[in-house]
Amino acid sequence: MKLNEAGIKDRAQWEQKGYSLPKYDRNMIKTETINNPKWIHFGAGNIFRAFQANVVQNMLNNKDTTSGLIVAEGYDYEIIEKMNRPHDDLSILVTLKANGTVEKTVVGSIVESLMLDEENEKEIERLREIFRAPSLQMVSFTITEKGYKTESYMSKVTRLLYERFLAGKLPVAMVSMDNCSHNGDKLFEAVIGFAKKWEEEGICQKGFANYVSDKTCVSFPLSMIDKITPRPDSNIEKILLKDGIEDLDQVVTSKNTYVAPFVNAEETEYLVIEDVFPNGREPYEKGGIIFTDRETVDKTEKMKVCTCLNPLHTALAVFGCLLGYKSIHEEMEDEVLRGLVHKLGYVEGMPVVVDPKVLSPKDFIKAVLELRLPNPFMPDTPQRIACDTSQKLPIRFGETIKAYRASSELSTDSLVLVPLVLAGWCRYLKAIDDNGDSFELSPDPMLDEVTKMDVKDILKRKEIFAVDLYEDGLAAKVLEMYEEMMQGPGSVRKVLKKYVDSVLA
């Protein structure tokens, strides 16, 4: 059994082993998509293969669309060269359910993969062709928050959008689907920056910046995405090998990207998008995407990112690294850590959540704490989640602090666990665990800077925490907790238990 176009022709062999295969004529879909592209996505990583590609797969199976997906990779070309193309853009989605069952799907909705490589004229010309197509409705992204700050990446994307401007100011939606606050605004700021600069320098035609800014031509919707998609897990690989599938070797690229012919992911997923598509769109709600207004997207994003999931993840990441854990679900078996995230969410977070209505905050956080994080079949690690923590703290904790300060009924004096996590991150930066052993810090763009700073100075950095922690007693509280955690081996767990126990559920 080989994962390629020829290999899946023996449907009975795959279906006998429990695999769901595409129920559509892939060659027909490929021809239609290449000739009349509707959706191109930048970022060929695991979240895209597990989520968006499967949304379109289900729609194709149900005849809700006749258009597949085109994916482009602008950061790590090895994903395309070593994974997508050798497998004819097919991949296996392994859904790990909390009850222990495994669902295996061969996803075939991706019909073309390209590299955003300006040194490769063939690749770039094809991308230009796609952007000039009147049929193109959506350009989406999962390139991480750092991607929007990467000038080389964003300049290439903007040059492609300029092709669409030259083709007759054709309309399109530019949709960030990254897990960051106000993602559409970040994408717009990156693109409009280049458009204005190029006009000023005479590099492009006048009117391009107006085109980018005109929502009837180019929209930049907000979105909220949620699906936990860890790195490919060797235990999943063993299941697939036992089924008889060949050539499943994982690839760690030269840029340290972990990819395999399969992706393992949890069952739960949410994608909420502001419904602003100037060139129309396919009925993606039939694939499970929620379309709504901007205010509602903002509320769902704040609900998730500021309270119901992301802060809990960061808390487990920081203390998981300090306490030597290698998986999130094992942390959820630790009474103190379980108490930390339950009380952080329910006691300190929920009082400032605004109900977005399209998703229930109570149901959301209940599923996170009782089903998703404890799922023993989800091989996610605190080390992975600890990546880029300095970029995550402003939203995941700063917004809660702001809400407490703005409230007439709440006070930051009552916050215990929010400052505890901030103190834990400062302690984490020492790269010494609670046993006194050194460990490797996860990648973070501010790592070199903050690891050389005194903690008192770190706490002054408003861009890290989104607020001035010295405005009230929070900085003093964080420093006190940090000093307690610096009292030698075992002090992190001791301090954790002390403060978690002090908060009444």
Of 345, 142, 349, 110, which is closest to residue 225 (Cα–Cα)?
142
Count of H-run helices and E-run strands, the chain = 25, 15
- Which of 235, 267, 292 terminates a domain? The answer is 292
Whether 148 and 242 map to the same domain: the answer is yes
Contacts of the segment 294-298: beta carbons below 8 A, 24+ positions apart: 294/221, 294/222, 296/272, 296/356, 296/357, 296/358, 297/221, 297/222, 297/223, 297/224, 297/272, 297/273, 298/182, 298/222
Q: Give a yes or no: residue 381 inside a domain.
A: yes
Q: What is the DSSP letter of 124?
A: H
- Which of 230, 264, 292 terminates a domain? The answer is 292
Beta-bridged to residue 96, according to DSSP, are 102, 266
CB neighbours of residue 67 within 10 Å: 20
CA dihedral 426, 432, 436, 437 (to 10 degrees): 160
Whether 376 and 420 map to the same domain: the answer is yes
Q: Give a yes or no: residue 390 inside a domain.
A: yes
Whether 279 and 317 map to the same domain: the answer is no
Q: Which domain holds residue 227?
A: 7-292
Whether 259 and 346 map to the same domain: the answer is no
Whether 149 and 265 map to the same domain: the answer is yes
Greatest alpha-carbon pair distance for the chain in Å reads 67
Residue 154 near residue 161 (C-beta atoms within 8 A) = no
Whether 342 and 285 map to the same domain: the answer is no
CB neighbours of residue 110 within 10 Å: 25
Q: Give a yes or no: residue 1 inside a domain.
A: no
CA–CA separation, 433 vs 333, rounded Å? 19
Q: How many domains does the chain have?
A: 2
Whole-Å CA distances, 176 to 75, 184, 201, 254: 16, 5, 28, 26
Q: Give a yes or no: residue 2 inside a domain.
A: no
What CATH number should be reported for the domain holding residue 301?
1.10.1040.10
Phi, psi of 457 (to 5 degrees): -80, -35
Q: Give a yes or no: residue 138 inside a domain.
A: yes
Whether 360 and 268 map to the same domain: the answer is no
Question: What is the predicted pLDDT for the residue at 228?
Answer: 87
Whether 299 and 286 map to the same domain: the answer is no
CA–CA separation, 106 vs 93, rounded Å? 6
Whether 126 and 197 map to the same domain: the answer is yes
What CATH number should be reported for the domain holding residue 253?
3.40.50.720
Q: What is the DSSP letter of 487?
A: S
Q: Give a yes or no: residue 342 inside a domain.
A: yes
Whether 176 and 284 map to the same domain: the answer is yes
Whether 313 and 329 map to the same domain: the answer is yes
Residue 22 near residue 90 (C-beta atoms within 8 A) = no
- Which of 257, 292, 327 terminates a domain? The answer is 292
What pTM value is reported for the model? 0.85
Q: Give one DSSP letter per residue of 142-200, joined into a string.
A: -SHHHHTT-HHHHHHHHHHHHHHHHTT---EEEEE-SSSTTHHHHHHHHHHHHHHHHHH
What stretches in the chain show pLDDT beneath 50? Answer: none
Q: Give a yes or no: residue 251 inside a domain.
A: yes
Whether 270 and 400 map to the same domain: the answer is no
Residue 69 near residue 53 (C-beta atoms within 8 A) = yes
Question: What is the predicted pLDDT for the residue at 431?
Answer: 98
- Report strand pairing: 270-274 vs 223-226: antiparallel
Helix (H, G, I), strand (E, B) or coil at 495: helix
What the block records as the tokens of 253 is 């690229």
Q: Which helix (H) or strand (E) holds 138?
A: strand 138-141
* Secondary structure (H, E, C), 261-304: CEEEEECCCEEEEECCCCCCCCCHHHHCCEEECHHHHHHHHHHH
CA–CA separation, 471 vs 398, rounded Å? 13
Cα-Cα end-to-end distance for the chain = 53
Question: What is the predicted pLDDT for the residue at 505?
Answer: 80
Helix (H, G, I), strand (E, B) or coil at 52: helix
